[in-house]
Structure 1
Amino acid sequence: MTTPKIFFRIVLFTLLASCASSKKAKFEDYVFETKSEKQTYVSAYDKALKLWDIPYTEEIIQTRFGPAHLVISGPKNGKDLVLLHGMDASSTMWFPNIKPLAKNHRIYAIDFLMEPGKSNLTAKPLSKEEIVLWYNEIFTHYKLKKFDIVGASRGGWIATLLATQKPNSIDKIVLLSPAQTFKFIDKMGKTTTALMLKLFPSEKKFEKTLTTFSTHPEKISAVYKKQFYLANKYAKSNSSMLKMTPFSDDELRSITNPVLVLIGDKDVINSDESLERAKKYLPNSKTKKVADAGHFLSIDQAKIVNDAMADFLD
């Protein structure tokens, strides 16, 4: 069994390698090293976003830490719903889920500014407290109150972090295989494929990583896969991983919101232990194990996940 100490050594090694390469940067950008890399990635992002296949608008607002990019969709009179994507995934990842989510909700999908996307960090890497400040600045800008929130993987960890802050304006919460939220990574040996992809990116390693994290990689759109690969190939900085530690019992108990936790039965990030801890410490939670699904459960079993989210949120 991999201990947290060993896990952090692996992550730290990845981080140091990232920092070493970033010293060669020709322009100032937290995520990308060159303008051409960023332009190539943004072009792939734009093509992948069209997979939403519903009307949407893109907006950029200025924040104290840099511009925040949002994709907004759904009826203006619908209940507000914030979407927080997973690591290296960006807001385009919601293409299998956006239609049912946007049916009754006003969607605000936010690109995390320390991830590949269209938000852009202009300050030093953010602390947990600064991450909360950044999101709250966005919520205030759009006057979001009593809104629902869906977070996948790292987005689930961020959603949980936001919910531990008192006061907050969150109503219902959906956590899709939240990373490092209830426990440290479950199957560390298998997830090292993702770390090796970061250090030595190649399409072969990328395909191997997909089969590790997904039970049905064939369901991943080729257009989205290209963008996701470029995110893994070009984006070297992920120092905030070091700050992603599981929440304490008391922190989880403090979250009185209705919470739905969905985890795939083949997930390499979470396990039954995650669900048990959610049941034990989240006072108003529902949990579900999704059959034949990996960490990318929102793609692996989109209909099951969509139905569960719709039932819970509506």
Structure 2
Amino acid sequence: MSESRKVSFPDARIGPEWGRRRIGAFRDAAAFERFAAVYEEAMGALPEPDEQRTVPTAFGTVRVHRFGTGEGVPLVLMPGRGSCTPLWRTNLAGLTRGGRTVYAVDGLGEPGCSAQSAPLTSAADQAAWVDEMLAGLRLPSAHLLGVSIGGWLALQVAIHRPARIASVTVLDPANSFARLGWKMLVVSLGSVIPGMPEKLRHRLLGWISGGIDDVGDHVEGRLIASGMRDFRTRFPAPALPGDDELRAIGVPVLALIAGRSIAHDPEKAAARARTVPGGTVEVWPDASHAINGEFPERIAERVAEFLGTVG
């Protein structure tokens, strides 16, 4: 097991009073301590970041970790629901190979070291904080890569705030090209119940990962399980982009759809993704919704190839 790495949580939101203000928060102090412990353990499994920043936006402060110091347009990673920077443990080595600078983000209003301060009431608000974060990092241009809801968020930035976006890569993005499937809804609703036994919670989350026996065997799985149990998000459910919104996307898009995904019907998602002008869409038959952890090297190679064609 890796050693824990001491983490600073700036102004963590704890307790039910934040919910009345529509701010995402940990349920109570015990919930925060549980999450903080597994977050520190998970960060200890990552390479040491070259820089850690806490970036102010109109909606709160965003924790960002920089890996690498390469030239060129950087890559910014957006994690899925209930997750944060350590989700990318298996991906960072491949994505930084060749010298590209990579920024990993703890999502605003999600469990992690970012701290929401104002309600996020729409997809436009979600896109706004990402754009303001990029401005705070002094990045005039960036490639976005998101998995699951992080993919949805990356697409929303391309729709609402595209000025700084060089390209978008989405890994089995949830509720982006096709509606959520019933299994995903069961996992999403069931895994947030506070009193649910951990084994059952892990079994539900295992559906996402193609039916692995126990996500608790992996630090990323324990992190997501804690995030879903111990933290309550307070923004609206992500809305499926409209046909006109998808057709209006003007940046290059690479969509990698998992053939064994429970998030949606993969073929329907791929078909609708192909309506994005100039988009590149691939269905990976053997991948589950946990595609980033299953195929880190293949993803790194495909992303490098894609980014090489768009700058």
TM range (shorter): 0.7 to 0.9
- 232-241 or 98-107: bigger deviation: 232-241
Note if contact 1:75-1:102 (Cα within 8 Å) is conserved in structure 2.
Answer: no
Tell me which residue corresponds to 1:87: 81
Question: Deviation of residue 305 (structure 1)?
Answer: 2.3
Aligned-partner Cα distance in 2 for 1:297–1:116: 21
Deviations along 1:219-251, one digit per CA (max 9) or x if unpaired, are 96632222222112211334332xx12111211
Aligned-partner Cα distance in 2 for 1:201–1:127: 30
Counterpart mapping for 1:209-220 below 5 A: 209-215=204-210, 217=212
Tell me which residue corresponds to 1:159: 154
Note if contact 2:162-2:251 (Cα within 8 Å) is conserved in structure 1.
Answer: no
Tell me which residue corresponds to 2:268: 273
Question: Deviation of residue 23 (structure 1)?
Answer: 5.8
Aligned-partner Cα distance in 1 for 2:100–2:86: 17
Unmatched segments (≥5 aa) in structure 2: 1-14
SS of the aligned residue for 2:203 comes to: helix
**Which has more helix, going by share of residues?**
1
The verdict on how the C-alpha distance between 1:24 and 1:89 changes in structure 2, with shifts beyond 3 A counting, is closer
Equivalent position to 1:262, from 242, 256, 260: 256
The verdict on how the C-alpha distance between 1:58 and 1:240 changes in structure 2, with shifts beyond 3 A counting, is farther
1:62 aligns to 2:56 (yes or no): yes
SS of the aligned residue for 2:101 comes to: strand
Deviations along 1:71-124, one digit per CA (max 9) or x if unpaired, are 111124242111110000111101111111122321121111111111011223
Q: Which amino acid aligns with 1:224?
A: E
Aligned-partner Cα distance in 1 for 2:234–2:269: 24
Aligned-partner Cα distance in 1 for 2:163–2:72: 20
Tell me which residue corresponds to 1:237: 233
The verdict on how the C-alpha distance between 1:72 and 1:182 changes in structure 2, with shifts beyond 3 A counting, is same
Counterpart mapping for 1:241-256 below 5 A: 241=237, 244-256=238-250
SS of the aligned residue for 1:172 comes to: strand
SS of the aligned residue for 1:289 comes to: strand
SS of the aligned residue for 1:227 comes to: helix
Aligned-partner Cα distance in 2 for 1:283–1:85: 25
What is the TM-score of this pair, normalised by structure 2?
A: 0.84
Equivalent position to 2:142, from 125, 143, 147: 147
Aligned-partner Cα distance in 1 for 2:220–2:289: 16
Equivalent position to 2:127, from 128, 132, 136: 132
SS of the aligned residue for 2:163 comes to: coil
Equivalent position to 1:71, from 41, 65, 68: 65
SS of the aligned residue for 1:52 comes to: coil
Q: What percentage of residue pairs aligned between the two structures are identical?
A: 24
What is the TM-score of this pair, normalised by structure 1?
A: 0.84
Equivalent position to 1:204, from 199, 208, 211: 199
Q: Which amino acid aligns with 2:299?
A: V
What is the alpha-carbon root mean square deviation over aligned residues?
2.5
Unmatched segments (≥5 aa) in structure 1: 1-20
Aligned residues: 289
Q: Which amino acid aligns with 1:135?
A: V
Question: Deviation of residue 253 (structure 1)?
Answer: 1.2
Aligned-partner Cα distance in 1 for 2:227–2:208: 16
